[in-house]
């Protein structure tokens, strides 16, 4: 009996010791963050993505009770910023405001010289919004529908052109996806950025573009561009009567997303807190209104869901890139 009692005391002592030992770790985990954090965005100030990143940094500061700085570190199609975060500690204090392009397309584009590989060195922490896409033409274009464009391309192969902000952009691959699904040949006209592409589209130098509404919604409302169709159903929040490209080309859908990414293996406690900050951001009515006013749809998704989206996007874009033989320039 004494032996049983002694054993029980020993077990209880070990249990208490383990519990005591785990308390500092648990307290440290629950306290994240205990110091300021930084968010890096790989593109220049002034665009819709930059606005969203700044709104997130401001809200996260309030949620965390710690300052979250926002830094623009441009270059290499967002990969300078991606490299900086991939090489940071995986503790959640350095995060990347990431995009569809630098997390999914660039990893699948042959000829891309990557200092880091987002597919293995970065992971999604949470999604903030969806950037819905639309097919737009100049105000004087003769085309009134997706079918008109496809018919023109079939009647005169290789004469219909579409604009994009660059080779390997979501806009480029959206145009190529339309070509492949409709069985037509079109000319891709890449520009150095969205604004130059939009200017030439408005003047009729190029035929059309499938691009994010955030960049063109003002032009559509002003009448310098016309919206023919939407790339995904979320766009109906802005244009409820617009048809889908997929109505004419079954299976066609395109969109982009913006969110937070961090080094692979980011601490689970940090991921949870960033998810909380992201959810609070998109559920804030004033922030949601500003995003919607700029053509962006608040669409929170947790880390697991975002990483699933990233994997699905990579498979889709890999197939489009391989079928078209697209390479980095």
The whole-angstrom distance between residue 213's C-alpha and the CA centroid of its chain comes to 14
**Which one, of 241, 299, 304, lies nearest residue 268 by Cα?**
304
Q: Residue 9 pLDDT more than 50?
A: no
Indicate whether this model's pTM tops 0.85: no
Return d(Cα 234, Cα 255) in angstroms, integer: 9
3-state helix, strand, coil in the chain (%, to 5): 50, 20, 30
Q: What pLDDT score does 2 carry? A: 40
Using one digit for the tens of pLDDT, what is the confidence trace for 231-249? 999 999 999 999 999 999 9
Q: Residue 10 pLDDT more than 70?
A: no
Decide: 63 and 276 in contact? Cβ < 8 Å.
yes
> What are phi and psi for residue 296, nearest 5 degrees?
-115, 140
Mean pLDDT of 70-95: 94
Q: What pLDDT score does 30 carry? A: 54
Q: What pLDDT score does 7 carry? A: 40
CATH of 35-131+255-324 given 2.60.120.260, 3.50.40.10, 3.40.190.150, 3.60.15.10: 3.40.190.150
Q: What pLDDT score does 214 carry? A: 84
Q: Residue 13 pLDDT more than 60?
A: no
Pairing label, strands 255-263, 187-190: unpaired
User: Mutual orientation of helices 213-222 and 194-203 as an angle, nearest 10°?
Assistant: 30
3-state secondary structure of 145: coil
Return d(Cα 277, Cα 267) in angstroms, integer: 16
Quick one: tokens of 245? Answer: 């490209």
Query: Which of the given ranges, 51-60, 106-115, 288-297, has the highest pLDDT on average?
Result: 51-60
> What are phi and psi for residue 226, nearest 5 degrees?
-120, 135
**Mean pLDDT rounded to a whole number for the chain:** 90
Domain boundaries, the chain: 35-131+255-324, 132-248
Low-confidence winner among 138-142, 150-154, 212-216 (lowest mean pLDDT): 212-216
Return d(Cα 179, Cα 324) in angstroms, integer: 10
**What's 327's DSSP letter?**
-
Q: Residue 18 pLDDT more than 60?
A: no
Q: What pLDDT score does 151 carry? A: 98
**Which one, of 312, 260, 323, lies nearest residue 105 by Cα?**
312
Pairing label, strands 37-41, 94-99: parallel
Using one digit for the tens of pLDDT, what is the confidence trace for 203-212? 999 999 999 8
Q: What pLDDT score does 6 carry? A: 41
CATH of 132-248 given 2.130.10.30, 3.40.50.1980, 3.90.1300.10, 3.40.190.10: 3.40.190.10
DSSP per residue, 13-39: HHHHHHHHHHHHHHHHHHT--SS-EEE
Cα pseudo-dihedral 236, 139, 257, 45, rounded to 10: -130
Decide: 46 and 39 in contact? Cβ < 8 Å.
no
Q: Does the N-terminal peptide bond of residue 24 adopt cis geometry, omega within 30 degrees of 0?
A: no
């Amino acid at each position: 009996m004494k032996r049983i009692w002694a054993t029980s005391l020993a077990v209880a002592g070990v249990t208490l010791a383990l519990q005591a030992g785990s308390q500092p770790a648990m307290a440290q985990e629950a306290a994240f963050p205990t110091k300021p954090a930084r968010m890096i965005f790989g593109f220049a100030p002034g665009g819709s993505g930059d606005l969203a990143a700044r709104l997130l940094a401001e809200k996260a500061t309030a949620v965390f009770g710690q300052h979250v700085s926002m830094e623009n570190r441009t270059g290499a199609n967002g990969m300078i910023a991606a490299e900086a975060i991939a090489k940071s500690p995986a503790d959640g204090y350095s995060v990347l405001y990431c995009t569809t392009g630098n997390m999914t397309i660039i990893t699948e584009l042959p000829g891309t010289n990557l200092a880091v590989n987002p597919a293995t060195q970065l992971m999604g922490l949470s999604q903030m919004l969806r950037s819905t896409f639309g097919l737009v033409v100049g105000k004087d274009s003769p085309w009134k529908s997706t079918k008109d464009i496809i018919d023109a391309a079939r009647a005169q192969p290789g004469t219909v052109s579409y604009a994009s902000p660059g080779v390997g952009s979501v806009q480029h691959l959206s145009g190529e996806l339309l070509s492949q699904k409709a069985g037509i040949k079109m000319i891709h006209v890449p520009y150095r950025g969205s604004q130059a592409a939009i200017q030439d589209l408005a003047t009729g130098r190029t035929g059309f573009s499938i691009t994010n509404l955030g960049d063109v919604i003002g032009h559509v409302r002003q009448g310098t561009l016309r919206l023919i169709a939407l790339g995904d159903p979320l766009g109906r929040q802005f244009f409820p009567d617009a048809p889908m490209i997929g109505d004419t080309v079954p299976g066609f859908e395109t969109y982009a997303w913006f969110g937070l990414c961090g080094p692979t293996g980011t601490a689970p406690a940090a991921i949870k807190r960033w998810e909380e900050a992201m959810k609070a951001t998109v559920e804030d009515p004033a922030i949601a209104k500003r995003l919607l006013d700029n053509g962006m749809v608040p669409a929170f998704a947790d880390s697991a869901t975002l990483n699933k989206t990233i994997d699905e996007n990579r498979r889709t874009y890999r197939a489009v890139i391989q079928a078209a033989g697209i390479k980095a320039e």
